[in-house]
Amino acid sequence: MQLTRLDHLPDGLLDCSARDLHRILPGPTLIHLPGRRTPELFVSVLLHGNEDTGLVAIQQVLKAHAGRELPRAMSLLIGNVSAAREGLRRLDEQPDYNRVWPGTEQHAGTPEHAVMSQVRDIMVERGLFASIDIHNNTGLNPHYTVVNRLDPHTLRLALLLSRTVVWFRGPPGSQTGAFSGICPSVAAECGKPGNPANEAAAARFIEACLHLAEFPAHPVAEQDIDLYHTLALVKVAPNADFGFGDAQASVNFDPQLDHQNFVELDAGASFGQTRLPQPLEAWDDANHDAAAALFDTSDGQIRLRRPAMPAMLTLDARVVRQDCLCYLMERVPFERVQEASSLMQELN
């Protein structure tokens, strides 16, 4: 596995579907494009092969600028071309392309880790204005951004997409985490793939990033942001069979479970039924399983023990196995943002 580097757009790229990219690109490809301003904006798309909104959005942006110089120089990474060919998040023999970046422990030493480490080294050497990584969800979710830091520049970048921001500190090896601390870095979650409105929103976000001359010096105001912090990454236990509206399964989730995404749920809210004593795992920031503290299954129902807000709940069983059932979050007091802003000013 090798990284392909180009200083031009290959013929046909702007009209190619994600499934047909393999006809143009041999694998992960980093494309450097000039622009009026430097340093560069770094954009990554298709780290998950079934999430093509980022590709469509970048195609729309580059078509709109055809024959004209970009407002800012941009480097574009097109990620998992082989999984995109099959319309899958990743192939069974592959690691997750958004878990193999510098900082990973699980996938250190893999060819994918070597390639993404090379990408980061190249971009650091070239200089970075900001980094954005564009994704889709498989469940019903609003547009939101994910950040690893609460400094004002990162939050300003995040708010170019949505006022809903998730502060996320794990698992290690994400693209966003790899560039945090180097430049403002966010992941943009743009709803389900195949939706023109989501593609247009992602294109507007890229355009806004390209046109941003500098980050405003003043901090983010409380009325401009809804900030949440992840409590845990929730997975179904490997030995548990599950379904959605399947009474025969040991774990029978509500068939409309994804309607609870970004809904602030009270303690006692149910995710479904189970015949198992504890069918879920809930990994917190310290990589401890907090399932017993977060879920009660004593009456055969899977209930929250405490108030929480789910995100990325999905009804796609393959995605549940390859990634997770959801994240659980809580609202962050605005005082935490103010503390981060003050610390940033002291460091500067």
Is a pLDDT exceeding 70 seen at residue 192?
yes
Q: How many CB atoms lie within 10 A of CB 164?
A: 19
* Lowest-confidence segment of 26-30, 224-228, 334-338 by average pLDDT: 334-338
pLDDT band at 348 (very low <50, low <70, confident <90, very high): very low
pLDDT reported for residue 218: 81
CA distance 315 to 138: 7
Give the β-pairing of 164-167 and 144-147: parallel
Residue given tokens 């430097």 in the structure block: 38
Check residues 121 and 337 and name the one with the higher pLDDT.
Answer: 121
Read out DSSP for 38-55? Answer: EEEEEEEE-SSTT--HHH
Residue 317 · residue 235 · CB < 8 Å: no
Q: What percent of the chain has pLDDT over 70?
A: 97
Q: pLDDT value at position 332?
A: 87
Q: What is the mean pLDDT of residues 147-153?
A: 91
**∠301-303-307 over CA atoms, to 5°?**
170
The end-to-end CA distance of the chain, in Å, is 41
Q: Is 74 helix (H, G, I), strand (E, B) or coil?
A: strand
Percentage above 90 pLDDT, the chain: 82
User: From CA 58, how far away is CA 96, in angstroms rounded?
Assistant: 22
**240 touches 251 (CB < 8 A):** yes
Q: What is the pLDDT of residue 343?
A: 54
Map residue 247 onto helix, strand or coil: coil
Q: How many CB atoms lie within 10 A of CB 109?
A: 7
Is the predicted pLDDT of residue 150 greater than 50, yes or no?
A: yes
pTM for the predicted model, two decimal places: 0.87
Are 176 and 99 in contact, with CB atoms under 8 Å apart? no
Which of these, 306, 317, 301, lies nearest to 258 by C-alpha position?
317
Around Cβ 121, how many Cβ atoms within 10 Å?
11
Report strand pairing: 128-135 vs 185-189.
parallel
**Positive/negative CA dihedral, 269, 316, 192, 3:** positive
* Element of type H or E holding 257: none
The confidence score (pLDDT) of residue 347 equals 45
Here the tokens at position 272 are 């479904």
Give the H/E segment covering residue 310: strand 309-311
Q: What is the pLDDT of residues 28-40, one digit of tens each?
A: 999 999 999 999 9
Q: Taking Cα atoms as reference points, which of 229, 204, 175 lies closest to residue 337?
A: 229
Domains annotated for the chain, with CATH where assigned, are 4-218 (3.40.630.10), 230-331 (no CATH)
Please provide the average confidence, as pLDDT, over all residues in the chain.
93
Closest CA to 283 of 348, 204, 330, 230: 230
